[in-house]
Amino acid sequence: MSRTRMTAALTAVAACAAVLPATAAGAAVEPPRPAFYEAPAYVAGAAGDVLRSELMTFAVDPAGLSNLVMTSTRVLYVSTDRTGAKIAVSGTVLVPKTPWIGVGKRPIIGYAAGTQGLADRCAPSRMQSEGLEYESLFIKGLIERGYAVALTDYQGLGTAGVHTYMNRVVQGRAVLDAVRAAQRLSGSGLSSLNPVGLMGYSQGGGASASAAELAASYAPDLKVKGAVAGAVPADLGAVASNLDGGLYAEFALYGVRGLAAGYNLDLTPYLNATGRRVMDEVEGECVTDLFNHSFVKSSTLSADGSTFAQMLGKAPFAAIVAEQKIGNLKPAMPVLVTHSVLDDVIPFTVGKTMAKSWCTKGANVYFSPNATPAHIGGMLNNSAEMYSFFEARFAGLPQWSNCWTL
């Protein structure tokens, strides 16, 4: 199949990725989740085992052109939560149909999506099928290069329960187990022998960075050759301060709600009536509902008038936030870290400090700053740099660290 034909077919899948639907005034009332996403009453098996799978269809591809160039499979697989308990996580496995012509076996990219929201309808596997997943264009570029892609929905995003947004360990594990699921998926043509890359930006950057830190201990069976982590929210306290009262204030609400869910913490005593109502609303919202709570000041939501950043600095939140810090463990593979100095969501110093911390531990890090306007702009730099990074890693070329510049 020609590259032109492949590009045309994949473009049909991604054409609507950047189109955002109109935002309702309040939180959407979710319909019952599709039966596929209902986990068994008892989740059994090893981390990465596939519980069920089904072929995906795409709303923007009614002619099925994507079937000419890739197999798209929705999966429900076994992962583990923060405590080590087995959980069911959904995701997507995309495998090109064209033969791999590069060095060795076809690489698998463990792709960690950026912020989607908290509602089940926001799950990347559902948004991608509907043509509304905003990272589809970047995933398309990976497929065009012959890589398989394993895209996790994370814990509680698509499946039952609240999405544990910004919970470091469970996000990293979900990424690694999605790759295992791709390797074990019947008919995928993949196995434990395929080399692996990790990729993510924003929330996904945190998940990719966490997966890079955890890979050696949690998934030593994976042959991880490199990781890309862009605009990493490595210090949630600093990020919360930056978001408060701004355009992306809803992200801070996701964070507090997601952390509470991951630690079974009842937020009721810490919020006033407005705060409790708002938290109920955001639990049913996606990133496309961002403007529902833009410019909200967290001090108007807390029981004692403190900001969320202040609240996160006190017990019991302080210990929880400390556990989410990224940069304390050395990645065992080369890592590319990107961040815009003009990032308006995650402060540039947060990403740079994480990279520097990895460097002090002897990690192979290349820190790539840029001046692309805003958080969204930085995503473009990150995606552009990841292609050459992965091409070099999968070809067996070394990465030259620039830790000496930090």
Higher pLDDT, 134 or 334: 334
How far from 122 is each of 42, 170, 406, CA to CA, in Å? 25, 18, 37
Q: Specify whether the CB–CB gap between 270 and 303 falls below 8 A.
A: yes
Confidence label for 66 from pLDDT (cuts 50, 70 and 90) = low
112 and 169 inside one domain: yes
* pLDDT value at 341 more than 90: yes
Mean pLDDT to the nearest integer, 205-234: 98
Q: pLDDT tens, 304-333?
A: 999 999 999 999 999 999 999 999 999 999
Question: Picking from 74-78, 345-349, 367-371, 380-384, which range would have the lowest pLDDT averaged per residue?
Answer: 380-384
154 and 223 inside one domain: yes
**Domain endpoint, select from 278, 294, 322:** 322
Structural domain range at position 131: 3-14+34-235+327-405
64 and 184 inside one domain: yes
Q: Is residue 20 part of a domain?
A: no
How far from 77 is each of 44, 104, 135, 333, 353, CA to CA, in Å? 10, 27, 22, 25, 34
Q: Specify whether the CB–CB gap between 123 and 31 falls below 8 A.
A: no
Q: Which residues pair with 271 in a beta bridge?
A: 302
**Domain endpoint, select from 257, 287, 322:** 322
Q: How far apart are CA 363 and CA 71, in angstroms?
A: 36
248 and 353 inside one domain: no
* pLDDT value at 402 more than 80: yes
Q: Quick one: pLDDT at residue 2?
A: 39
Q: Residue 119: which CATH number?
A: 3.40.50.1820
Q: Quick one: pLDDT at residue 133?
A: 82
Mean pLDDT to the nearest integer, 285-300: 94
Give me Rg for the CA atoms of the chain: 20
